[in-house]
Structure 1
Amino acid sequence: MITHPQTTPVPLPDPDEERRRVQTARLLAYRDDGPLATWLRERMGPGLPAVPAALAALLAVAALGVSGVLEPGPILLVPALVMVALVVPTSARDHLGRFDWLVPPLIRGTEFLAVLLIGITADVPKWLLFVLLYVVGYHTYDTVYRTRQRIWPPTWVFLAGLGWELRLLLIGAGAAFGWGTWVVAALTLYLGVLFAVESVTSWVRLDKESAVADSGDDLEASPEEVQEQATGEVEGEAERV
């Protein structure tokens, strides 16, 4: 009597749980949290509600700009501190709420607004501020484009990119001590090289892996399969003629 070995069925992942996991991972990637937020994520409990806190940060930074209280000096560090205090505690949330998709654009918009307010007040050249915003915007676009194709950027990129929180703190501290232009210039150069080199090398490596996989598929075909495929193509051409 021949018996077949019994195989233990592998449980399939729950589709809803997988969807929630991917949504959380994607929104966390879009946030672009750096080392500080990542380190505090596991140490701050449930954290603040993401959307209200991010919206409050945007309104608070905008109010600082409209009120005219920003002047050259230590007060230029305040917008960065306000955003860090309100938004960093939201990084521990699961981002599964109905409106949590608003959190990444709120964070990016507040970051850009704070950079402009601090930079303009500290007399940083406007073209330099534009280049910095372009570099960060390119990094955001690259992250969104990759994740939508289920190609996740490595974690070290977000840590090496300092995240929105450390970028703002560096710019605010530099402007507060009168080194705003130098700090923005150094940060722009560093981030530009980092994001450009990592993005290009990642896409080139991906193209090479795809090409190797395609060639491997062709090499695995037997001579009979190749001959059969060629015969089928010839017959197809004859029928079309």
Structure 2
Amino acid sequence: MITQPQTTPAPDPYLERLRVQTARLLAYRDDGPLVAALRGKVGPGLPPVPATLAALLVVVAMAAAGLLGEGPILVVPALVVLVLVLPTAARDHLGKLDWLVPPLIRATEFLTIILVGLAAEAPKWLLFVLLYVVGYHTYDTVYRTRQSIWPPDWVFKAGLGWELRLLLIGVGAALGVATWVVAALTLYLGVLFAVESVTSWVRLDKASALAQAGDDLEASPEEAMEQATGEAETA
């Protein structure tokens, strides 16, 4: 019996675009292991933009009201952000304004780090370095995904995500050891993100070079001569 070869239907361009859009926004959120573990246990989740904006406004209101003094109160901003933002991870992020979620999460994370760190009297330069490290990781993620190069999942888990970073700093501030926690977190994340990013780009460059070399070997002598002549004329 002769059977016709099975052909895989081409994916719908619209559905594929939505899939990539969702994957990018979820990557830009920089969720960590805690969010990954609880994402499927929060039901339908909260609307991403209103919930994240509410978390940001609560943190600002606490600072404006002078509530960020010392002691256990310093862990409250991290808990508020966690309670409001974690349930948004269950959503598909396909709303018209859902592209605002990653920058809102990053703004909330950075503002919380600054306000809690200053309240706990952590060195300003150390807080700046931590923000730079997290910002570099965000930039690297955005740049890679726009080149269709996706960072591995373990990077986001090893990077602790916004939720564990805020909880660690909040607990450290509440216990009076914020400077040590921020220093350790900065060193750990700096080494992690720098080493992973550099090694990934080096591997990519090597793969591109090998592919280019393979193309050159497959070229005919006439094509190689034509290419060399063109390069010489350009020079």
Q: Could you say which TM-score interval applies, normalised by the shorter chain?
A: over 0.9
Deviates more, 1:35-44 or 1:118-127: 35-44
* Matching of residue 103 in structure 1 with residue 97 in structure 2: no
1:144 aligned partner:
142
Letter in 2 for 1:47: G
- Matched position secondary structure for 1:124: coil
Helix, strand or coil at the partner of 1:91:
helix
| CA distance in 2 between partners of 1:136 and 1:186 (Å) | 14
Q: 2:223 is matched with which residue?
A: 229
Matches within 5 A, 1:150-189: 150-189=148-187
| Distance change (3 Å), C-alpha of 1:143 and 1:236 | closer
* Equivalent position amino acid for 1:64 in 2: M
Counterpart AA for 1:71: G
Deviations 1:146-176 (A, max 9, x none): 0011100000000000000000000000000
For each residue in 1:40-59, what CA deviation from the matched residue of structure 2 results, as whole angstroms up to 9, or x when unmatched? Answer: 11111110000000000010
Amino acid corresponding to residue 217 of structure 2 in structure 1: L
Say whether the 8 Å CA contact 2:109–2:162 is kept in structure 1: yes
Gaps of 5+ in 1: none
Aligned residue among 24, 28, 31 for 2:22: 24
SS of aligned partner of 1:42: helix
Q: Which has the larger radius of gyration?
A: 1
Shift, 1:60, TM fit:
0.4
Instruction: Return the offset for 1:235.
Output: 8.7
Note closer, same or farther for the CA distance 1:11–1:189 as it changes in structure 2 (3 Å cut).
Answer: same
- 2:124 counterpart residue number: 126
Q: Match for 1:155: what amino acid?
A: D
Q: Which runs of 5+ in 2 are unaligned?
A: none
Structure 1's 205 and 234: CA in aligned 2 closer, same or farther, altered over 3 A?
A: closer
Structure 2 counterpart of 1:15, one-letter code: P
How big is each residue's C-alpha offset from its partner over 1:164-196, in whole Å with a ceiling of 9 and x where there is no partner?
000000000000000100000000000000000
Which residue does the alignment assign to 1:13? 11
Query: What letter matches 1:53 in structure 2?
Result: A
Cα distance, 1:122–1:9 mapped onto 2, change above 3 Å: same
Q: TM-score, normalised by structure 1?
A: 0.92
Letter of the aligned partner of 1:124 in structure 2?
Answer: A
For 2:176, give the aligned amino acid. Answer: G
Alignment-derived partner of residue 70 in structure 2: 72
Per-residue deviation, residues 96-118 of structure 1 (Å, max 9, x unmatched): 00000000000000000000110
Query: How much has 1:13 moved relative to structure 2?
Result: 0.4
Q: CA separation in 2, counterparts of 1:119 and 1:172?
A: 8
Distance in 1 between the 2:153 and 2:191 partners? 17
* Aligned AA (2:202): V
2:133 counterpart of 1:135 = yes
- Counterpart of 1:101, as a letter, is W
